[in-house]
Copies of this chain bind each other. A is one copy, B any other.
Amino acid sequence: MQTHKPRITLKDIARNVGVHPSTVSRVLNPDTRKMVTKRIADRVIHASEQLGYRPNTFAQSLRTNRSYTVGVMVPDLTNPAFGPIIKGIDNVLEQSGYSVIVTNTDNVLEKEKRSVDKFHERQVDGLIIATARRLDDVVTTCLEEGTPFVLAVRSTIEKGVNSVVSDEIVGGQMIVSHLAQLGHKKIAYVAGPQFLSTGFERYQGYLQGLKNAGLKLDEDLVAIGDAFTEEEGRQAAIMINANQKPFTAIVAANDLMALGCYDELITKGLKCPDDVSVVGYDDMPFTRHFNPPLTTVHTPLLDVGMQAARILLERIWKPEQPARALKLQPHLIVRGSTGIPSSYSETGTKVTN
């Protein structure tokens, strides 16, 4: 009963209609359909539907060197931030007939290289890279090979690279500004990896924010994590606490790290936001359900994915266009994790309610 139906080819249709395979090819290809008489075209189309023809993409790709396939590299699929991005990418690409090959690199360089190799081997028409470091081998390789690609949610040092990110520096400033307005003066920072643009620029935004608010940087209130994870956030918070300097707020480089801070505050018996305010970054799904609901900067993740895909398509069509670096505007979402500074503040005066 295992009747693997025999594949229908152009030749079959041609024979059926009484015409040459190349004619069938022309009919079935939108770009060349006009070349053949309507009468014949109709018969071909009819026959192809009747027989249930499906083009053999391998043969097509072999001939044309186009795979209608795009590679997507993400660092960690369990991070809920990447779901929306991929969804956005898939949404726009599938409309143009492209398929999306996803790969998870776990933030390990070796895997990234292997992935990009694999992608080249499969001759993807383009790449969307959400794993890029500020200085990234993979990116330079792609530049050399001339593969169209765009960075999502990350940017690199070198110029002339397509990317779509949210404006991290502005985002960082908004956070500090918000806290300053509430009256916070001692604002700690749990930084992300500085070799990632997000980690680096958000920190720059924080610094700029302090300056804007007329506050001075206290290096004892800054700790840098090695990864954008809960655990690294917790470790960083522990380090800051260990410095024994008073502070009334912690800004974390992303939502996951903020959760790590939550944990550390709890173990120290500190309440958020009563004792310490906490801010995250990304507004990943369900942050509003956290305890307390997390004040954070909303990054339009779905949009990032969609725009990245659109730009990639542009580049695939016209490779010689100048690169675009798109910056989406983030916005602050104030929730329950930030409030007016408490007794813990530098003044030593207990603020009652």
Contact = CB atoms under 8 A, between A and B. Distances in A.
Interface of A: 2-5, 54-59, 61-62, 67, 69, 76-80, 82-84, 86-87, 90-91, 94, 99-104, 115, 118, 120-123, 145-146, 259, 262, 285-286, 289-293, 302
Which are the 5 A-B pairs with shortest beta-carbon distances? A291-B291, A77-B87, A58-B62, A80-B80, A77-B83
A185 to B, nearest CB: 28
A104 B94 CA distance: 10
B103 A101 contact: no
A263 to B, nearest CB: 9
B120 A54 contact: yes
A258 to B, nearest CB: 10
A248 to B, nearest CB: 22
B86 A123 contact: no
A302 to B, nearest CB: 8
19 contacts: A2-B146, A3-B146, A54-B121, A55-B121, A57-B121, A58-B59, A58-B62, A58-B123, A77-B83, A78-B84, A80-B285, A87-B104, A90-B103, A99-B103, A100-B102, A259-B286, A286-B290, A289-B289, A289-B291
Contact of A83 (B3, B80, B122, B123): B80
Contacts of A292: 291
A147 to B, nearest CB: 10
Contacts of A77: 83-84, 86-87, 90
Given A2-B146, A57-B122, A82-B83, 14 more contacts: A4-B145, A58-B62, A62-B62, A77-B83, A77-B84, A77-B86, A77-B87, A78-B84, A83-B83, A86-B102, A87-B104, A101-B101, A286-B286, A291-B293
Nearest to A263: B289
A37 to B, nearest CB: 27
A202 B62 CA distance: 48
A202 to B, nearest CB: 21
Contacts of A79: 83
Contacts of A259: 286, 289
Contact of A61 (B4, B55, B58, B102): B58
Contact of A59 (B62, B291, B302): B62
A288 B302 CA distance: 25
Nearest to A61: B58
Nearest to A302: B78
A275 to B, nearest CB: 17
A90 B111 CA distance: 12
A28 to B, nearest CB: 13
Contacts of A69: 101
A287 B28 CA distance: 51
A101 B104 contact: no
